[in-house]
Amino acid sequence: MTIRVLLADDQTLVREAFAMLVESAPDMEVVGQAATGRQAAELARTERADLVVMDIRMPDLDGIAATRLIAADEDLAGVRVLVLTTYDTDENIVDALRAGASGFLVKDTRPAELLDAIRTVAAGDALLSPGPTARLIERFLRTPAAPVTAGPECLSDREREVLALVARGLNNTEIADSLGLSPLTAKTHVSRIMGRLGARDRAQLVIVAYESGLVAPGAV
């Protein structure tokens, strides 16, 4: 299935470069380009994008506010947002995840990594890997603003174990190996946890795991 990609960045050259790359992939197409966050939110609806590559710093409406609009729109429930960041200087990345983004992308990422990131997020997975990503979340996750409707106290002991591993960046296969489960069982646990916590995706599971104290900074 072709992934319908919307590009949102206030720099024309950046958008055009990303557009050429995305169009070079046989399983993707660019359905629109936005120079502001407000345009991105509007085009996500009119162009029926599957995924928005969203810059954080844009005029009129920034990428975080635009992501929040998309995530709050029931008609856009299937639209995923992959935010752009300059990594070390973007302290807004956790706010973007709280707003409903499914992951983030470093602006100077390699072309193949951008395409892989789009496929990962479009497939419904969160682009949250161990190491630098987790440390970034730990660093800026300070003020409670959880996007979920319940905390880990409603989970079983096994589900809390699975949630902690999700927060550390493990995928379903790695969780299964760590806990001696089948990949299908691990996937079922993750889906059940998302349902019980009211989480949109794995990115929000990471947020609630840190905000609740289930995973402590420095534990990755």
Concatenating the DSSP letter of every residue in 58-127 gives -SSS-HHHHHHHHHH-GGGTT-EEEEEE-GGG-TTHHHHHHHT--EEEETT--HHHHHHHHHHHHTT--B
| Nearest one of 179, 177, 184, 139 to 159, comparing CA atoms | 179
* CB atoms near residue 2 (< 10 Å): 11
At 33 the three-state DSSP class reads: strand
Task: Please give the Cα distance from 118 to 216 (Å, whole number).
Answer: 29
pLDDT tens string for the chain (220 positions)? 899 999 999 999 999 999 999 999 999 999 999 999 999 999 999 998 999 999 998 988 999 999 999 988 988 888 999 988 776 566 677 788 888 888 888 778 889 988 998 998 888 766 654 444 555 566 555 545 444 555 778 889 999 999 989 887 788 888 999 999 998 999 899 989 988 888 777 777 877 887 787 876 555 4
